[in-house]
A and B are shown apart, each in its own frame.
Chain A
Amino acid sequence: MTEQTNPKVNATNGGAIDRRTVLKLGAVAGTAAFLAACGTSGGSTEPSASGGDTTPSATLNWANWTYYLDVDDGVDTATAETSESLRRFKKEYGTTVNYREDLLDNDEFFGTIKAPLEAGQDTGWDLVTPTTWMAKKIIDLGWAEKLDKSHMPNFVANLADEFRGRAADPSNDYLAPWQSIMTGLGVNTKKTKRFTKVSGLWDPALKGKISLLTELRDTTGLVMLGNGADPSNPTRATFDAAIATLQTAIDSGQVRKITGNGYTELLINDAALAAIAWSGDVGIIQADKPELEFIVPDEGGMYATDNLLIPKGAQHKYTAELWVDFYYRPEIAAIVEAYVNYICPVKGVSEAIAKIDPALATNPLIFPSEETKKRLRVWGSVSAEDQAYFDDRFSAIVEGVSA
């Protein structure tokens, strides 16, 4: 198969209308996928493949988040046919990747794979892409397959140093980082005054014009930072203070919406002029709306990593490992990165991406400075009781239950 698309076109110039449409459709796709996910359950009836199998399989089932893989211009979702990286994988190994944007919420997705894993059955997925805290939970439950690194030379060589020896996976046996995300402020600098502090969100001038995320760690983490607390070590006291800040803002009508991926549509249509936002989303919207800026607040921003993980009993473990290793080739990672605009865990990607577009190699969303990185915090792990307390209180905020 010949190369059909130049990823450069995807990421920078051109395709303005397409990207806008794609993002607008995001809300639709998100909700539709969510509804579909309501009925999702695992369970392929194929007999389980033996562990020593080293023949690439015909298909590979991968669950990922939306806008998280390169896709041809004018196409909404990545498939084995519409994504350059997946096309190259197919050309090399003959595997058609069944790519599904089924991950909309860590907890929600976990609910769909929990039953088969508990029963020792195949989930139907060969690869899933949970955020580290959720990935750790899956590993701790013994529901992750150990990676066979003997046929993953690129992964071994190119995994960025910051991901070696992480607490969630000290020997890098289970997780292959996919992308890292900064959570900060998305600010429309044309329609509102640019601000760099979290408290800028509570400015009365922005009444009814801000949006928050439904992810507990992102929203309360950022608000904690704004309150001068440290989300890498959350306590009930600092958490309650953040909830109180949120409640005040909601009661005063400051907050227009609390959404998942839907906030991108609000920023595009000026329904929200400032938002708690994910770096890569802002990067994608910027292509059409340069006045939208991603700001890591003065007080700091949140940082999280989504990881490739092979669930226990996966049908095509070997092929899943092949795909992971394929992605850890800098030239493949660069193709993905030029589209998704998140932080890449693959060494050597900046040189590879410069060949696609030199401007991307200096894009602070993809390659944040050391100074910025120092200000990023990862949500700390807490006891199960504290987490349940946090979940309960944050849910009340999203459900509109006044304290």
Chain B
Amino acid sequence: MGLIRRNPAFTPLLLLAPGLLWLAAFYVAPNVQMFASSFWNGTLEGGFSFSLANWTNYPDALIKYQEQYLRSIEYGFVATLLCFAIAFPLAYFIAFKGGRARNVLLFLVVAPFFTSYLLRTIGWRTILGDDSIILGPLKALGVVAPEARILDTPFAVIAGIAYNFIPFMILPIYVSLEKIDRRLLEAAQDLYASGWGSFRRITLPLAIPGVFAGSLLTFIPAIGDFINAELLGNPGTTMIGNVIQRQFLVVRDYPTAAALSFMLMILILAGVALYARLLGTEELTSTAI
């Protein structure tokens, strides 16, 4: 205490200390370790050795798994768009028309999160099954072919990702919509703006921070996800997360796994930087979260 009283400059440092220590122990240290192991060479049984000459781990892994990287970006991107298409109208409805039911509606958005991620995903195996409540009747009516299926297709994987991450899109958009000063909309009306006009000129621009935060919160976990591809996909829908998981735990080729993880991280950071530039960096700091 004496220290703070004598030198108030220490106060922010002390307040930051727990967070910095946390970052150092659980973010910086593992990443340094992982970065080092991406320059290893060898096997688990024979031991690994570090050498900068092993930088070739990166291009080797990138070439071998380029298809999985591209697929992850594609699935992540489509799932994020899907989330946005569903989340924006829903968040708009809750924010502007929700009235007293608002809190209940928001609760319903997060309610599925009370169940385990795995269980929710496996639940879709029942819902989307070949003779399920969705496909069964359609097949009986002859609307779809008897051999048609949704489960274990790219569609199921993307739908699963979108389903699992949609609350991360809804909540930030809701917050930014909810913050909008309603007097602005009234003023627009007074000045004879059409409904669409005021939406386009007022609501949408003010919702951008929420859309920005939401799409990042959806896209980043989506691109690294492996559970949906594992449970709802087929041998042709493997994502980079599946490869990293298998390389780390089954094949135990730690150097390749580490290189793959690092490239994924760089890919995401580069994507985020580009996106931030497009939408304006000051929006990043004033996001709704």
A400 and B237: CB pair below 8 A? yes
Instruction: Return the CB mask of A199-233 against B: 1 if under 8 Å, else 0.
Output: 00000000110000010000000000000000000
Apart from A105-B250, A269-B131, A388-B43, what 19 extra A-B contacts exist at CB < 8 Å?
A31-B122, A31-B231, A32-B116, A37-B249, A108-B249, A108-B250, A111-B249, A208-B147, A208-B149, A214-B250, A250-B236, A269-B125, A269-B130, A271-B151, A398-B246, A399-B68, A399-B246, A400-B67, A400-B236
Residue A237, interface by CB 8 Å: no
Check A399–B243 contact: CB distance below 8 A.
yes
Whether the pair B130, A270 counts as a contact (CB closer than 8 A) is yes
- A2 to B252, alpha carbons, bound, how many Å? 47
Q: Residues of B contacting A38 with CB < 8 Å?
A: 249
- Tell me whether B249 and A257 are in contact (CB under 8 A): no
Chain A residue at smallest Cβ distance from B46: A384
Q: Is the Cβ of A401 less than 8 Å from the Cβ of B67?
A: yes
A27 on interface, CB distance cutoff 8 Å: yes
CB distance from A243 to the nearest CB of B (A): 13
Q: Does B31 contact A (CB under 8 A)?
A: no
Q: Please, how many angstroms separate the alpha-carbon atoms of A62 and B262 in the complex?
A: 36
Q: Which of these, A32, A265, A395, contacts B251 with CB under 8 Å?
A: A395
Report 14 cross-chain contacts, Cβ distance below 8 Å, ordered by A residue.
A28-B122, A35-B118, A107-B251, A108-B250, A111-B249, A255-B234, A256-B234, A270-B130, A271-B130, A271-B152, A388-B43, A397-B235, A400-B68, A401-B68
> Would you call the interface of chain A mostly helix, strand, loop, or mixed?
helix
- In the complex, A111→B67 CA distance in Å? 28
**Cβ of A114 under 8 Å from chain B:** yes
A257 and B64 contacting across the interface, CB-CB below 8 Å: no
Query: Could you give, for residues 223-247 of chain B, a 1 whenever the CB lies within 8 Å of some chain A CB and a 0 otherwise?
Result: 0000100110011111000110011
Q: Report if A402 contacts B (CB, 8 A).
A: yes
Contact with B along A367-403 (1 / 0, CB 8 A): 0000000000000000010001001100111111110
Residues of A close to B149: CB separation below 8 A:
208
Cβ of A336 within 8 Å of any chain B Cβ, yes or no, is: no
Residue from B118, B131, B230, B251 within 8 A of A270 (CB atoms): B131
A258 contacts the other chain (CB 8 A): yes
- Given A105, A392, A395, A400, which contacts B235 in the complex, CB threshold below 8 Å? A400
Verify if B44 is at the interface (C-beta below 8 Å from A): yes
Whether, in the assembled complex, B129 has its beta carbon less than 8 Å from a beta carbon of chain A, the answer is yes
Neighbouring B residues of A208 by C-beta, 8 Å: 147, 149, 152
B119 at the interface (CB under 8 A from A): yes
With A257-B152, A398-B246, A402-B67 known as contacts, the answer to whether A250 contacts B235 (CB < 8 A) is yes
Chain B residues closer than 8 Å to A391, beta-carbon distance: 251
B35 at the interface (CB under 8 A from A): no
Instruction: Report A's interface with B, CB cutoff 8 A.
Output: 27-28, 31-32, 35, 37-38, 105, 107-108, 111, 114, 207-208, 214, 250, 253, 255-258, 265, 269-271, 384, 388, 391-392, 395-402
A401 and B64 contact, CB distance less than 8 A:
yes
Pairs A-B, 4 closest by C-beta atoms: A400-B238, A250-B235, A399-B243, A108-B249
Chain A residues with CB below 8 A from B65, complex form: 399, 401
> What is the minimal beta-carbon distance from A76 to any residue of chain B, in angstroms?
14
* 0 or 1 for each of B105-143: is its CB under 8 Å from A? (1 = yes): 000000000001011001001000111000000000000
Separation of A32 and B125 alpha carbons in the complex (Å)? 16
Residues of A near B118 (CB, < 8 A) are 28, 31-32, 35
- Tell me whether A399 and B242 are in contact (CB under 8 A): yes
Residues of B within 8 A of A31 (CB): 118, 122, 227, 230-231
Residues of A within 8 A of B67 (CB): 400-402
Instruction: Please measure, in the bound complex, the distance between the C-alpha atom of A258 and the C-alpha atom of B231, giving whole angstroms.
Output: 10
For chain B, residues 251 to 279, give those with C-beta under 8 angstroms from any C-beta of chain A: 251-252
What string of 1s and 0s marks CB contacts (under 8 Å) between B37-77 and chain A? 00000011100000000000000000011011000000000
Q: Tell me the smallest distance from the CB of B19 to a CB of chain A, in Å.
A: 24
Check A28–B130 contact: CB distance below 8 A: no
Q: Are B235 and A27 in contact (CB under 8 A)?
A: no
- A271 near B129: Cβ-Cβ < 8 Å: yes
Contacts of A401 in B (CB 8 A): 64-65, 67-68, 243
- Give chain B residues whose Cβ lies under 8 Å from the Cβ of A396: 64
Could you tell me the distance in whole angstroms from the C-beta of B179 to the nearest C-beta in chain A?
37
The residue in B231, B235, B251 that gathers the most chain A C-beta atoms within 10 A of its C-beta is: B235
CB nearest to A25 among chain B residues: B122
Q: Tell me the complex Cα distance, A253–B129, Å.
A: 18
Q: Are A114 and B68 in contact, CB atoms less than 8 angstroms apart?
A: no
| Set of chain A residues within 8 Å of B252, measured between Cβ atoms | 107, 111
User: Given A28-B122, A269-B129, are A107 and B152 neighbors across the interface (CB < 8 Å)?
Assistant: no
Check A257–B130 contact: CB distance below 8 A: no
Q: Identify A111's interface contact among B44, B116, B230, CB under 8 A.
A: B44
Q: Are A256 and B152 in contact (CB under 8 A)?
A: yes
Q: Which of A207, A391, A397 has most chain B Cβ within 10 Å?
A: A391
Bound together, the chains give a CA A185 to CA B130 distance in angstroms of 22
- Which A residues lie within 8 Å of B246 (CB)? 395, 398-399
Question: Which B residues are CB-close (under 8 A) to A111?
Answer: 44, 249, 252
A141-B189 Cα distance, complex, nearest whole Å? 80
Determine how close the nearest CB of chain B comes to the CB of A117; give it in whole angstroms.
12
